[in-house]
Every structure is written in C-alpha cells, then in structure tokens.
C-alpha cells in the first residue's frame, strides 16, 4: 500500500513571521510552510536571504500564472507602527484575507556589557526598541487583525535567560521578560476571539546571533552546562512553534514554553 502524504495542518492559513530571514525565524517560517501555511517573511536588513527563502518556498508551488505566491518577503522595522501595519496589509493583499498566525521572532542581543551598571542607555533603549516595543506593536496589530473564529495564534519568541538570569544579559533578559508578562495578559484579554497567545523561550541555539562575540571556551562551557551535551538547533525550536499554531495547540494559552534541553 502506498504511503500517504502527511496532512497539511495549516493549509489555508496565513502566517506572519518576523525575523524570518535567518536563524530561528527562518526555520520557523520554513516549518510553517511545510505544514501548509502561506507566509509573510518579515525581515529587517537581510533582503537577499529573505528573497532566497521566499523563492525556495514558492518553487514548491504550481508554476501556473494564476497561482498565488506561497511566500512574500516584506522589509519591516518592528519598532515602527506603520511598518508593522504594512506586514498585515501585505498578508491581506497577497493572500486575499486576514492573517491567522503571528510569530514575533525579530530580536537583538547586546551582551557586550558585563553588568547592568555598565550598560549604556542608548544600547538599553536599542534592545527594548526591537525586543519589547517591536513585540508589542506586532502583538497589538495581531490582536486587532488576526482572523476570528478559530486558528488565530500569537507566538512570541522570548528566551530561557528570563529564567536563568545570567550576568551580562541584563538588558536582553529585561526586554524578553516584559514580553512574557505582556503575552500572559493578552491571553486573558483575547477571551472570546479563539486566539491563543503564548511564548516559546529557547535556550542557547546555534545561530549567528548566539555565536557573535563568544569565545570557543565560552561556547564549550555553555554546551557542558546542558544536560543534552549540545547547543540547540533551530530545528529543535520550529516544531514546538508549529504545534502551537495547529489545532492541536488550541488548549495551550498564556504559557511560556522553555525549549532548551534542560538548560534551566
């Protein structure tokens, strides 16, 4: 008997993923597409990488001139309200209806300061502009514009550092902890919409952002601290987000899911 193709659990649904041109966001976007979702690929500066991802996802669809695209790359500054609005406008324009899913993954990590007391105000503000203000603007737009009646999902990518509280990560931890608190409140405020709101909080993941500025010795120590004996991979994170976005995740709401191999 021939094997059947896996069910496309997100067929007919539209997802917006910020920070989707590389790293964890790229993996999430690809995974949601593999589940059948149409994608708005939000990116800040890596236009070539975003265009490549869109081309890869679109190449798997029919070549018919009447075929809608599977994925569209949209440049966005998530700290700007008009830019965030443009993501949702792009979804409606490209795919003919409101988005169902928001995954707010855009983020920055500035860990060059050893302590909060040494942190420059401008760098603190820059971290909050993307990680916290950006998540707020995306979530606010999603709360007002995601499709009602089932399948509405908000997932913010935060960090397990909000639990481990490592020295040197003061601005980053504070910016992500604020998002986790906001999302828990939003889950209650969205009562009656059938939209869930959750956070996925990865531990150390092998991405360019993680490796930047870290010595081999520091990376080795981080690996040794993990019970699984390795760094996370982006493919460890994407399926958890995918689960939350499918109907199977409809009873998970207002939660922070730490995906870190037991790191904390």
The number of C-alpha atoms within 13 Å of 143 and in the hemisphere containing its C-beta is 19
Specify whether the CB–CB gap between 46 and 73 falls below 8 A.
no
Specify whether the CB–CB gap between 109 and 172 falls below 8 A.
yes
Q: Of 27, 5, 51, 25, which Cα lies nearest the Cα of 107?
A: 25
Q: Of 174, 168, 184, which Cα lies nearest the Cα of 128?
A: 174
Output the CA–CA distances (angstroms, integers) from residue 194 to 40, 135, 143, 187, in the order listed.
22, 20, 11, 10
Report the distance separating Cα 146 and Cα 165, nearest Å: 33
Q: For this structure, is 172 an active site residue?
A: yes
Q: Of 257, 23, 45, which Cα lies nearest the Cα of 156?
A: 257
User: Helix (H, G, I), strand (E, B), or coil: what is residue 115?
Assistant: coil
Report the distance separating Cα 205 and Cα 20, nearest Å: 15
Check residue 143 and report its DSSP letter.
H
Active-site residues, by number, are: 172
């Amino acid at each position: 008997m021939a094997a059947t193709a896996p069910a496309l659990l997100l067929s007919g649904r539209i997802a917006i993923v910020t920070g989707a041109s590389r790293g964890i966001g790229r993996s999430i976007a690809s995974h949601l597409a593999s589940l059948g979702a149409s994608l708005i690929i939000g990116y800040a500066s890596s236009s070539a990488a975003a265009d490549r991802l869109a081309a890869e996802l679109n190449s798997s669809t029919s070549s018919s001139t009447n075929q809608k695209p599977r994925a569209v790359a949209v440049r966005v500054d998530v700290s700007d309200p008009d830019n965030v609005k443009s993501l949702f406008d792009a979804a409606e324009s490209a795919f003919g209806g409101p988005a169902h899913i928001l995954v707010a993954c855009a983020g920055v990590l500035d860990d060059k300061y050893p302590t909060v007391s040494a942190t420059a105000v401008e760098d603190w503000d820059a971290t909050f502009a993307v990680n916290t203000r950006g998540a707020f603007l995306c979530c606010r737009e999603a709360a007002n514009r995601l499709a009602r009646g089932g399948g509405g999902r908000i997932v913010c990518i935060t960090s397990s550092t909000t639990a481990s509280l490592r020295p040197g990560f003061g601005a980053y931890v504070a910016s992500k902890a604020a998002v986790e608190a906001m999302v828990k409140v939003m889950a209650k405020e969205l009562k009656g919409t059938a939209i869930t709101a959750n956070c996925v909080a990865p531990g150390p993941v092998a991405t360019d952002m993680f490796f930047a500025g870290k010595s081999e010795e520091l990376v080795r120590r981080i690996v040794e601290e993990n019970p699984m004996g390795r760094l996370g991979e982006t493919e460890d994170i994407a399926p958890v987000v995918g689960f939350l976005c499918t109907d199977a995740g409809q009873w998970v709401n207002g939660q922070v899911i730490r995906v870190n191999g037991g790191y904390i």
